[in-house]
Structure 1
Amino acid sequence: MLRDINLDEISDGRLYTSNDMAKTDCKGCDGCSACCHGMGSSIVLDPLDVCRLSQGLQQPVNRLLAGPLELHVVDGIILPNLKMTGTEEACSFLDSDGRCSIHAFRPGICRMFPLGRFYEDHAFKYFLQIHECPKTDRTKVKIKKWLDTPNLKTYETYISDWHFFLKDLQDYVMKLASDQTQTDSDNTAKTISMHVLTQFYLTPYQPDGNFYDEFYARLEKSRLFTSSLHI
Structure 2
Amino acid sequence: MRRELDLNAVSDGKLYRQSDMVKAGCNDCKGCSDCCRGMGDSIVLDPFDVYQLCSHLEQNFETLLSYALELRMADGLILPNLKMAEKEEQCPFLNIQGRCSIHAFRPGFCRMFPLGRIYEEDCFHYFLQVHECRQNPKTKVKISKWLGISRIQEYERFVLQWHTFLKKAEKIAAQFQEESAVKNVCMFILKTFYLTPYKAEADFYEQFEERLKKAEIYFF
TM-score range, shorter chain: over 0.9
CA distance in structure 1 between the aligned counterparts of 2:173 and 2:190, rounded to whole angstroms: 15
TM superposition outliers: structure 1 runs of 4+ over 4 Å? none
CA distance in structure 1 between the aligned counterparts of 2:129 and 2:175, rounded to whole angstroms: 31
- Matched residue, 1:118: 118
- The answer as to 2:202 corresponding to 1:216 is no
- Matched residue, 1:71: 71
Higher alpha-carbon deviation: 85-94 or 164-173: 164-173
Decide whether the 8 Å contact of 1:75 with 1:174 is kept in 2.
no
CA distance in structure 1 between the aligned counterparts of 2:4 and 2:117, rounded to whole angstroms: 12
- Matched residue, 2:52: 52
- Matched residue, 1:140: 140
Matched letter for residue 57 of structure 1:
L
Question: TM-score, with normalisation over the residues of structure 2?
Answer: 0.98
CA distance in structure 1 between the aligned counterparts of 2:2 and 2:108, rounded to whole angstroms: 17
1:172-221 deviation per Cα after TM superposition (whole angstroms, max 9, x unaligned) = 22243xxx3xxx2x111101110000000011111121000000000000
Decide whether the 8 Å contact of 1:2 with 1:75 is kept in 2.
no
Percent identical pairs in the alignment equals 50
Q: 1:171: Cα distance to partner?
A: 2.0
- The answer as to 2:98 corresponding to 1:104 is no
- Matched residue, 2:154: 154
Decide whether the 8 Å contact of 2:41 with 2:72 is kept in 1.
yes
In the alignment, structure 2 segments of 5+ residues that lack a partner are none
- The answer as to 2:164 corresponding to 1:164 is yes
CA RMSD of aligned residues (A): 1.0
Matched letter for residue 102 of structure 1:
I
CA distance in structure 2 between the aligned counterparts of 1:150 and 1:208, rounded to whole angstroms: 17
- Matched residue, 2:10: 10
Question: TM-score, with normalisation over the residues of structure 1?
Answer: 0.93
- In the alignment of these two chains, the number of paired residues is 220
Q: 1:74: Cα distance to partner?
A: 0.7
- The answer as to 2:34 corresponding to 1:34 is yes
Decide whether the 8 Å contact of 1:47 with 1:200 is kept in 2.
yes
CA distance in structure 2 between the aligned counterparts of 1:19 and 1:2, rounded to whole angstroms: 22
Matched letter for residue 170 of structure 2:
Q
